Amino acid sequence: MALCSTALSLRPLSSPTRPPHSPKFPYLSPVPAALFCHRQRPAQTLAMAPLRRLSGTAARASASQKVEEGTVPAGEERAEWGKVSAVLFDMDGVLCNSEELSRMAAVDVFADMGVSVTTDDFIPFMGTGEANFLGGVASVKGVKGFDPEAAKKRFFEIYLDKYAKPNSGIGFPGALELIMECKSRGLKVAVASSADRIKVDANLAAAGLPVSLFDAIVSADAFENLKPAPDIFLAASKNLNVPQSECIVIEDALAGVQAAKAAQMRCIAVTTTLSEEMLQPASPSLIRNEIGSISIDDVLYGGHSVDKEKRKEM
């Protein structure tokens, strides 16, 4: 699937730990490794301010009254959250427990070059695409003559051979269930990833998630600007024929949350990769532990529970 993208001009994101400037990687905004959160770390659930809301108690009371009276039109939700027609799933760290595996494969790539790195060295560059993911560390380490395309090719060889074998169980618990629940509610679903298509297909196969589940798959191959630029999410919205204001993004990486915000989409962030404290400044609409912790109420109503009988009326 070939998608066209208009290159966007974005100012570099500020960061206290930005690596040396490189024209090849202008959008990188490193994440301090100290704020990295392993999946096993407990995290509190936090509801952040949604992008669209009415003011104060009156707005909540008005929305609740509409639900109670059954006056909310079919397919729409309470006013402070807004209509939802599509869900855009990031892949690494959201659908697939593959972030650590990707870093391990990247360490192998640098070992082939005789450069000693650790998996933590790659944390600041997660979610930005393989060329930036590898090239960012090469820049920080001062690797001479680094070839991003050759490194990417070797990365995919190692990753597919060692870490992403078909049906190897790398899918997060609850991922398939949430996808199917979204589809049963009439929502369109898409994968929107900064990874190349070869990795997207391998990860979905390893997670046991058929490509046919999704209405669209948007990968990095056709884009010059990857996350935190909004291009991938905007292309997914266009491909699904759904306004960006009606799209919900599910992301784990800071770059992904920033991309969703730049695309003017609501975003549910999960703490499978970064801590809640690291994600909060990017202002996701909601924060949950992992995809299995995201309910259909989170998607449709911004985390507000709605009585089952009232849902039938809606």
Two tokens at 220?
Answer: 């990095």
Annotate 221-276 with DSSP letters as a single string.
GG-SS-TTSSHHHHHHHHHHT--GGGEEEEE-SHHHHHHHHHTT-EEEEETTSB-H
**Could you confirm whether 161 is annotated as catalytic?**
no
Two tokens at 285?
Answer: 């609409």
Residues near 251 by beta carbon (within 8 Å), at least 6 away in sequence: 90, 94, 127, 257, 259, 260, 267, 268, 269, 270, 284
pLDDT of residue 202: 97
Q: 55-106, pLDDT tens digit by residue?
A: 333 333 333 344 333 333 333 444 489 999 999 999 999 999 999 999 999 9
pLDDT of residue 306: 53
SS3 84: coil
pLDDT of residue 81: 95
Spot the catalytic one: 92, 108, 215, 298.
92
Spot the catalytic one: 90, 108, 196, 298.
90
Tokens 């699937």 correspond to what residue? 1
pLDDT at residue 2 tops 50: no
Which burial class, exposed, middle or buried, applies to 96 when counting CB atoms under 10 A from its CB (0-12, 13-18, 19+)? buried
**Could you confirm whether 108 is annotated as catalytic?**
no
pLDDT of residue 295: 97
Q: What is the mean pLDDT of residues 121-140?
A: 93
Q: How far apart are CA 179 and CA 214, in angstroms?
A: 9
Round the average pLDDT of the chain to a whole number and report it.
80
